[in-house]
Every structure is written in C-alpha cells, then in structure tokens.
Chains A and B, each alone.
Chain A
Amino acid sequence: MSQLPDLICPAGSLPALKAAVDNGADAVYLGYKNDTNARNFAGLNFDAKTMAEGIRYARAKGREVLLAINTFAQAGRVADWQKAVDAAVDQGVDAIILADVGLLDYARNRHPQQRLHLSVQGSATSYEAINFCQREFGVRRAVLPRVLTLAQVEHVIKNTTVEIEVFGFGSLCVMNEGRCWLSSYACGESPNTVGACSPAKYVKWDKQPGAMETRLNGVLIDRFGDDEPAGYPTLCKGRFEVQGETYYALEEPTSLNVLPILPEIIKIGVRAIKVEGRQRSPAYVTQVTRTLRAALDSLRDGSERFHVKPAWQAELAKVSEGSQATLGAYNRPWR
C-alpha cells in the first residue's frame, strides 16, 4: 500500500479554512481578494490580515497552506501578479500554486527557496510538460487537469518525480481546463482573463411559473422545471438545441466524485487529492472534508476491505451540482 495522499481542501474564507482544518484536511488552498486567482468572486477570499490568521490557525494544527495565484498575468499589469507572489512568500505560505509560465519563471528566480506547484490551469497533461516545469522552474507538484483517464494519470506518475495531485471531488470544469473561453463567448470574460467563469454580474436567474431560467448576458443557458435539480450557470453545462434536439450537449450539471476508485488512486501513487469549491460555504467544506477524511482513513490499513459507505455517497451527492456525481474522465473508455 502506498502512502495515503494528502487531502487538499478549499478555503474561500476564514471560517471555511477553519472548517477544513478542523475536519481533517492536510492542507488548505486559498487565494487573494483579486483577479490573481481563478475564484475572483465578490466577498470571497483573503486579504493579508485574514490570511495571516489563517496561516497561524493551520500551522498550529500542523497543516499546510497553499496559495493559488492561478490566473494569467494580463498585459500591462504583470507587476500586480508579481507583487502577489512576493506577498505570498512574505506571508510564508507552504507553497504557491501557479499557472503562468512567466510567473513561474519570476517566482523561481526571485524566490528560489519557495515551493512551487503547477496549477491545473497550467494545463499540463503529459509528463513531458511536467518535467519541463520541474527542470525550468523547480516545480515540486503538479495538479492534473480533470481530463485524463486513471491509466493516463498512472503513466504520468511513472515518468516523473514531480508529485502528482488530482481532483477528488467538486464541480466539473470539463473543457480543456485552463484553455476554455466559452464564457467569453457569451459575456467577454472567462477564467483566465478575469478569474471567473460566468461572472455573476452577467448571470440572471429568472423565476417563471413552473420553471426557472438561467441566462448569461442574455443568452439562455438552461431552464429548470420546479422539481429539477439545478447547477452553476456555466455554458458547458447548458442545454442546447443540436439538430432539433435540446439537451445537455457538453456536460450535465454534475460533480466529480472519486470515492469509488479511491484505492486505485492511492495504488498508482497519487500524492494529493484536491477538493474543488473555494466559492462554497463553510458548511460544504465541513461536509466534504469530513467525508473524504473518513474514506481515506478507512484505507490506512490496506485497501482490500474498502467499502464506499452509502452515507458518504449520500453526503457528497447532496452537495453536488445537479445533485449527481460522476467519475468524470477517470474511467472514460476513450481518450
């Protein structure tokens, strides 16, 4: 049995950070209150003061704090991103999660001692790309995009000494992570430019008799009947008319959940499992962290006896988008 992977949980606020730490996260990841991170939503994230308190809280319980600066430096404002890196180093975070190659280069040269992780937004799906980042920028861990099958993840791990982190639970971002511009198509803004897919100011929930309509900058994304579960207002999870039929042409509102394949993930040597959801509340962080902690701990002494408890699945299904979960790309037959 390989070593248990670290459980990496999201923190959009101080109470969420504490919830993650209290419920068994090995590390939390967070971001600054600005567009240097990919969850740049009003009222979310940390300033220097709350971050200092968060770091103190996590450290006191022996947990790590990872800071995501995972958007791409925009032309004319590169200094803003560099300043964020400097500030993170000053605050003493355990690692900085970066996506922008220019920023990786900056961090490596300016702060050679700082541990760097390659963000999922860096979109490295092959060991060649990951080893390049190791050679050039000293990257110690890479977060894999949610597009690889389990066999492909294993192939990457066999061919690199960089630690590999994969997503274990959360909303799915299905399309070529780090490269998706669908949101820009409707409203001119997308994750890599402003740090948010479907920024809230363009989103409209419209209650009609018997249904609720979701629009992004006027574009109708979906219409939910009163008893139908809902999802986030992203274009990839909209219902579209394709050749006369209206359906979820790209992806249904659903969340990724790897519980059923947890033993395999551990066996192939995944170093860390990440939970998505910095935009979610402390209640979600509590529920998901607690559940995954219990599942991981049950594997501590050998995976042979691993059962996915119905209570775990029920807890995770409840907080899922569209109230349903999938194994995503991990078990897709095609590549």
Chain B
Amino acid sequence: MNANFTIPKFRLPAFVASLGHKLPQWPHALALVAGLNAALKMKLLPERELELLEDKLFRVRINDTGGEASYTYRDGMFRPVFRPTREPDLAFAANLSAYLQLLARQEDPDTLFFNRELEITGDTELGLIVKNMLDAVEWPRLPRLPLASH
C-alpha cells in the first residue's frame, strides 16, 4: 500500500445500514473467511496462537453498512458460520472506515478503542490473542489479499 495514501475517517449514511440489514449476510462472511484462509495458506499466522482459536465463535459487525459476519476456526481452517446458535466468544463492532484503517495498519486498535470507534466485547484474552496475532503478521502485499478489496 502506498504510504501516502490515507484512509479518512468516514461514516456511511444510515440508509446504507438499513439496506445492509436486508441483504443476506453470507457474502461478508465468505469474503472474510477467504481472506483469513489465504493468510493461513501463506503460513502468515503463527501456529501456536492459532491453536488457541480452535472452535471459538467470532463475530465482526460493520455498523454503518449493517453487515455482519460470524466465523470460527476448526481443524486448521477458518469457516463461516451462517446461523450462529450462541453468543460469540469475541465480537467486534465498528464502522467500515475503522476496519479499513486497521487493515491498512494506519490506526492501532487500542487507539480506535480508546476513541470508542472500535467496540470489542466477549473474551478479552481471546481479543488480545487475535489482535497480537494480526499485528505480528508480515503481510507480503496487503492490497492483494482478498480481504482488502472488500
């Protein structure tokens, strides 16, 4: 990613969110899981920490699009969960711009958290594991990951 390119903080209008609720949720989940699995395949994620994610349920909610994705990690793969039957172990909620800033390593999750732009609920230790795991990844070419195009 071009170092001079910065993602501004923005919020999509509320009607986008209401639209998002009416759309099926699976494209988000699939895109997210595809991105994570791509990172897995490139051996970017450390095995020691991955083990700690086994069978945990994660939910990522994009406030201003109304999009939501749940997924889990099982037997060495991230898998989408289309109809979660329980509360997630770890849940993130933020506007799209915050996620993009995080992915581009433009903002630090603690910063977004302090500023109340990123909400993390559930198992705090799991949250820390995920955060630190993603921080430690040396993304070879960030824009090429399927994640970054969504």
Query: Which A residues have a C-beta under 8 Å from some C-beta of B?
Result: 12-16, 41-44, 50, 199-201, 203-207, 212, 224, 226-231, 233, 253, 279-284, 286-287, 318-323
Partner of B109, one of A229, A281, A323: A281
Given the interface pairs A13-B135, A15-B136, the reply to whether A229 lies near B111 with Cβ below 8 Å is: no
Known: A201-B125, A282-B105. A229 touches B135 (CB 8 A): no
Give B residues with C-beta under 8 Å from A.
46, 49, 52, 102, 105-111, 113-116, 119-122, 124-125, 127-133, 135-138
User: For the complex, what is the distance from the CA of A77 to the CA of B141, rounded to whole Å?
Assistant: 43
Return the contact of A280 from the options B110, B119, B121, B122 (Cβ within 8 A): B110
A207-B121, A227-B116, A318-B115 given; name 12 further pairs at CB < 8 Å. A15-B105, A42-B128, A50-B136, A199-B125, A201-B124, A204-B124, A205-B120, A205-B122, A229-B114, A282-B135, A283-B111, A286-B105
Give chain B nearest CB distance to A289 CB in angstroms.
Answer: 12
Q: Is the CB of B120 within 8 A of A229?
A: no
Contacts of B52 in A (CB 8 A): 42
Cross-chain pair count, CB within 8 angstroms = 101
Question: Once the chains are docked, how many angstroms separate the CA of A201 from the CA of B122?
Answer: 11
Q: Enumerate chain B residues within 8 angstroms of A320, measured Cβ to Cβ.
A: 114
Q: How far is the CA of A320 from the CA of B110 in the complex (A)?
A: 9
Pair A229/B116 contact, Cβ less than 8 Å? yes
Cβ-neighbour of A283 out of B106, B127, B129 (below 8 A): B106
Chain A residue contacts of B128, Cβ below 8 A: 41-44, 200
Q: Which of A199, A200, A224, A281 contacts B135 (CB 8 A)?
A: A281
**Which chain A residues border B108 with CB–CB below 8 Å?**
280-284, 287, 319
B110 touches A41 (CB 8 A): no
B129 touches A229 (CB 8 A): no
Whether the pair B111, A284 counts as a contact (CB closer than 8 A) is yes
CA–CA, A333 and B49, complex, Å = 47
Q: Is the CB of A42 within 8 A of B132?
A: yes
Known: A42-B125, A281-B131, A283-B106. A318 touches B111 (CB 8 A): yes
Complex: A287 Cα to B110 Cα, angstroms:
13
Query: Closest chain B residue to A321 by CB distance?
Result: B114
Report yes or no: B114 in contact with A15, Cβ–Cβ below 8 A: no
**CA gap between A12 and B23 in the complex, in Å:** 40
Query: Which partner residue on chain A sits nearest B46 by CB separation?
Result: A43
CB A62 to nearest CB in B, in angstroms, measures 22
Could you tell me the distance in whole angstroms from the C-beta of A253 to the nearest C-beta in chain B? 8
Alpha-carbon distance A227/B115, docked complex (angstroms):
8
Residue of A nearest to B93 (CB): A207
- A15 in complex: contacting residue of B102, B124, B137, CB < 8 Å: B137
- Residues in chain A near residue B107, CB distance under 8 A: 283
A319 with B113: CB separation less than 8 A: no
> What's the Cα separation between A50 and B48 when bound, in Å?
14
CA distance A319 to B101 in the complex (A): 14
CB of B119 within 8 A of CB of A200, answer no
Of chain A, the residue at the smallest CB distance from B91 is A207
Given known pairs A15-B138, A201-B125, A205-B120, the reply for A231 and B114 (CB within 8 Å) is yes
Q: Which 10 A-B pairs have the closest CB atoms?
A: A43-B132, A284-B108, A200-B125, A13-B136, A281-B108, A203-B124, A283-B108, A42-B129, A201-B125, A200-B124
